[in-house]
Amino acid sequence: MKLSQENTMTEIYNLILNSKTRDWERSLLLEAKDAIETGANYNETIAKLEAALRPLASRNNLTPDVTDFYQKLIGEYQSELEYDSSKHQVTDPRYQSRAVFAGGCFWCMVEPFEERPGIISVLSGYTGGELENPSYDQVLVGNTGHVEAVEIIFDTRIVQYQELIDLYWQITDPTDDFGQFQDRGTQYRPIIFVQDEEQRQIAEAAKQKIIDSGYYKKPIVTEIRWASAFWPAENYHQEFYKKQPKRYKAIKRSRQQFLTYQHLKGNLRKAFTKNN
Q: Which residues are catalytic?
A: 105
Distances (CA, A) of 145 to 64, 99, 137, 168, 188: 20, 20, 13, 22, 11
Q: Please name every residue paired with 127 in a beta bridge, in sequence order, or none if there are none.
A: 147, 230
- Rounded CA-CA distance 2/13 in Å is 17
Amino acid at 157: R
DSSP 75: T
* Cα angle for residues 150, 211, 129 (degrees, 5° grid): 30
User: Interior CA angle at 261 toward 255 and 267, to 5°?
Assistant: 130
Start-end of H helices in 59-153: 64-73, 111-114, 136-141
Which strands make up the sheet holding 119-127, listed edge to edge?
A: 223-226, 191-194, 96-102, 147-155, 119-127, 230-232
In angstroms, the CA 106 to CA 162 distance is 21
Backbone CA torsion sign across 55, 57, 58, 61: positive
